[in-house]
Structure 1
Amino acid sequence: MKKVLITGKNSYIGNALEKWLAKEPENYQVESIDMKDGSWKERDFSSYDVVFHVAGIAHVSTDPKMEELYYKVNRDLTIETAEKAKAEGVKQFIFMSSIIVYGDSSSSKRVIDRKTIPTPSNFYGNSKLQAEEGIKNLESDEFKIVILRPPMIYGKGS
C-alpha cells in the first residue's frame, strides 16, 4: 500500500486526487494537510511514500503587490516542503507546477514539446519555474522528483 500526503488541504486538485485514489483503498492511503500555518513543519513525513505538493497560489492576480507572496508560497514553500520530504525519507515528490512557465500563449497558438524553453511572462509563471529549479537538485536515486505542468484546470469555479 502506498501512503500519499497531499499538501494543500481542500484544494481542488488535491481533493480530486484523494477522491480518485479512494477508489482503490487496498492500494492507497491518503492524507491531506494544510500549509497555511507553520504546523506542517512539525508533521512527520517519514511514513509517506509520496508527497503530492499542490499547495500554492494560482494565477489569480497580476497586482505587483502580490509578487512577494507568490514567490514566498509558490517557490519557497515548495522548496522547503521538498527538502523536508527528502530529509525524512519520502521516496517521491510530485510538484504541481503550471504550463504558464512557458509564458502566456493566449495571443498565439504554439506547440510545446521537450525542446521548448520555459520563458515565463509574469511573476506567477516565474515563481513556479523557480520552484521547479529549486527542487530539481534534490533528486537522487532515493528521492524522485516529478514536475507536472498542466494547462488550465477546469472545474468548480473555473
Structure 2
Amino acid sequence: MKKILIIGKSSYIGTKFDEYIKESGGNYSIDFLSVRNNNWKIFDFSPYDVILHTAGLAHVRETEENKKHYYTINRDLVQSIASKSKSDGVRHFIFISSMSVYGIEEGTINRETIPKPKTNYGISKLQAEELLTKLETSTFRITILRPPMVYGRNCKGNYTRLSRLANYTLFFPKIDNRRSMIYIDNLSMWIKKVIDSGIYGIILPQNNDYINTSELVASIRKANNKYTCLVRVPKVLLKIFKIKTLNKLFGNLIYEYEKDNELFKKIKMIDLKQTIELSEEHK
C-alpha cells in the first residue's frame, strides 16, 4: 500500500486528488495534515511514502501588507516541511508549484524557458522550488509540478470569474488564441502517475488539447443550455477596454508539448467538452 500525506487540509487540489483516488480505486492510503498552526512540527511523517504539498497562498489580491505572507507560506513553510519529511525518512516529496514562475503573460513555454516571475506568488513559488532542489538526494526525491490554470467545479480563480461572465453574455468576442489549462481530475491523473512511476524533476502538466477562450465560453454556455453568438473582434479593442481577466485569457499562453507528454501519453485524460460539463454541473 502506498501511503500518502497531503499537506493542506482544505486545499482544492489536495481534496480533489483524494476524491479522485477514492473513486478510481487502488492500493492507497491518504491522510491530510493542516499547517495552519505549528502542530505539524510534532507530527510523525515517517509512516508515509509520499508527501504531496498542496498548501499555499493564492487567489488573493497582492498588497504591500500581505507581501510577506507569500514568502512565509509559499516558500519558508514548504522548506521547513520538506526538511522534516527528509529527516523523518520520507522518500518522495511532491510540490505543487505554478506556471506563474515563468512570469510570462503571452507566448510559448518549454523546458528551456528561464523562469522570471513578476508577482510575489510566482517569486515565492520559484524560491521554494530552488530550496527544495537543495534538499534532494538519492533517498529523498523531489517532484515539482507547474500546472497552468486549473479548473473544475467549485474551483477558485479565473475560470470561475469567466464562467460567471459567460452565463450573462449572449454576445462574446471571437478570438483565435491558444491556452494551456488543466482540468482538476486530469491534474490528479498526472499526480497519480508521478507517484506510481516514481517520476522526479520538473513536470509541466496540461490537458491533451489547447483551449480557445471563445470556444471555452461557448462551451460553458452550452453546458448551461444557453446559446452564444461569437462576434469577430480585433484583439486591440480588448486591450483598449483594459478588462484584465479577458486580456489575460485572450492572449496565447501555452506549454509546448514535449517529453512530459510522452511520459504521460498513456493517461486517458478527460476531453474538453466533458470537463466543461463536469465543471458546470449543479451550478
C-alpha deviation, 1:60, in angstroms: 1.8
Letter in 2 for 1:141: S
Q: Between Structure 1 and Structure 2, how many residues are aligned? A: 155
Superposed CA offset, 1:127-149 (max 9, x none): 00000001101111111100010
Counterpart in the other structure of 1:21: 21
Aligned-residue sequence identity (percent) comes to 47
Counterpart in the other structure of 1:61: 61
Q: Which runs of 4+ in 1 moved over 4 A?
A: none
3-state DSSP of counterpart to 2:44: coil
C-alpha deviation, 1:59, in angstroms: 3.7
Counterpart in the other structure of 2:3: 3
Superposed CA offset, 1:31-64 (max 9, x none): 0011100111111000000000011101422212
Q: Which has the higher contact order (CA 8 A, sep 6+)?
A: 1
1:37-116 matched pairs, under 5 angstroms: 37-105=37-105, 108=106, 110-116=107-113
Is the contact between residue 102 and residue 118 of structure 1 (CA under 8 Å) also seen in structure 2? yes
Is the contact between residue 59 and residue 124 of structure 1 (CA under 8 Å) also seen in structure 2? no
Counterpart in the other structure of 2:130: 133
RMSD: 1.2
C-alpha deviation, 1:153, in angstroms: 1.4
User: When the two structures are superposed, what TM-score results if normalisation uses the length of structure 1?
Assistant: 0.94
Distance in 2 separating the partners of 1:102 and 1:60: 19
The structure that is helix-richer by fraction is: 2
User: When the two structures are superposed, what TM-score results if normalisation uses the length of structure 2?
Assistant: 0.53
Q: Is residue 144 from structure 1 mapped to residue 141 from structure 2 by the alignment?
A: yes
Distance in 2 separating the partners of 1:83 and 1:76: 11
**1:153 aligns with one of 150, 154, 160:** 150
Letter in 2 for 1:134: L
C-alpha deviation, 1:20, in angstroms: 1.3
- Over 3 Å counting, the alpha-carbon distance change for 1:103 and 1:59 in structure 2 is farther
Letter in 1 for 2:118: S
3-state DSSP of counterpart to 1:63: coil
Give the structure with higher Rg (CA). Answer: 2
Task: Give structure 2 stretches of 5+ with no counterpart.
Answer: 161-283
3-state DSSP of counterpart to 2:93: strand
